[in-house]
Amino acid sequence: MPSSPSSLFEAYTRHLLLEQGLSANTRDAYGRDVAKLLSYLADEQVKLREVTLEHLHRFSFELCELGISPTSVARILSGVRSFFRFLVLDGFLDADPTELLESPHRPKHLPEVLTVEEVDRIEQAFDVSTSEGCRDRAMVEVLYSCGLRVSELCSLRLSDLFLEEGFLKVEGKGSKQRLVPISERAVKEIGQWMFHRHEITIRPGEEDYVFLSLRRGKHLSRITVFHNLRVAAEAAGITKNISPHTLRHTFATHLLEGGANLRAIQAMLGHERITTTEIYTHLDRSFLRAQVLEHFPRNRESD
């Protein structure tokens, strides 16, 4: 019986094909679920033989804290249960730690998740022949491609843009700063907006803000972002309850579904449980950027 996580994973995938006879799609889904768990255990420095129910509860809790829906978490845990049943069946483990593992309950109000096609439809609803349309399309793309909070978008400054390096500097809750990778699509949309931004009469003290009101010459308010996003969603024929947080939640969900590392997603979201020091202790900037380039839909499009 193999003992390393990678060899056990390979043996498990063969088991799904040869003994379970599962379809390619199901095998791929189970494989992604187990890969998430193995990545989490590696980060926590926990060996497979040492996994307890408590470890699995923490894994489930971290998935929920990322904003992943209970339905998606339940599906991931189903793959994890299958993996541990295999480990017991083949004699690697004596007991199955998932026997008492419960899936999270579905809350009454789940946050909405958009598809990539729906995000594109919202952006296409903006009239880019106008300055406001260019601004709002760039605004939506930055919210989606960078997973920003609406307050972080409104306070984003030109001095926070490191577009050639592919990063934004973001100040989140508690004045904690983080570096967030930005997609080529978002860089392009910001560039289009900059052509129009130069035409605005900007109020003193507002010169460094990225997204400005055309009429007031001040940085955008959260209410304006909410309103313009919802108007565009309605024009795109999307009936879901949309807010800027929907785009942030969609960003995290698409990264997770694409197979990104849980720690990288937490760092990019600026989650409250991760301090700035912890981010740079565990993850360097090149790793964060590699996670987005590899796993985010916008970047897979360019490939």
- pLDDT tens across 154-173, in order? 999 999 999 999 999 998 87
- Model confidence over 55-74: pLDDT tens digits? 998 888 888 767 777 888 88
Task: State mean pLDDT over 187-191.
Answer: 96
pLDDT of residue 3: 63
Catalytic residue chosen out of the listed positions 197, 248, 249, 298: 248
Q: Does the annotation count 245 as an active-site position?
A: yes
- Model confidence over 255-275: pLDDT tens digits? 877 777 777 888 888 876 533
The model's confidence at residue 287, banded by pLDDT at 50, 70 and 90, is: low
Catalytic residue chosen out of the listed positions 173, 227, 240, 300: 173
The model's confidence at residue 281, banded by pLDDT at 50, 70 and 90, is: very low
Residue 167: strand, helix, or coil:
strand
Cα distance between residue 7 and residue 191, in whole Å = 47
Question: Which CATH class, in words, describes the domain spanning 5-89?
Answer: mainly alpha
CATH of 116-302, one of 1.10.340.30, 3.30.200.20, 3.40.366.10, 1.10.443.10: 1.10.443.10
Strand boundaries in the chain, DSSP class E: 161-162, 167-171, 177-181
- Here the tokens at position 48 are 């497979």
282 pLDDT above the threshold of 60: no
Q: Does the annotation count 173 as an active-site position?
A: yes
Catalytic residue chosen out of the listed positions 219, 271, 289, 295: 271
Smallest CA-to-CA distance from 144 within 303, 302, 299 is with 299
145 pLDDT above the threshold of 80: yes
Q: Does the annotation count 248 as an active-site position?
A: yes
2 pLDDT above the threshold of 80: no
Q: Does the annotation count 149 as an active-site position?
A: yes
pLDDT of residue 275: 37
The whole model's pTM is what? Answer: 0.63
Q: Where are the chain's structural domains?
A: 5-89, 116-302
Catalytic residue chosen out of the listed positions 149, 249, 254, 298: 149
Q: Percent of the chain beyond pLDDT 90?
A: 43
Q: Does the annotation count 271 as an active-site position?
A: yes
Q: Does the annotation count 209 as an active-site position?
A: no
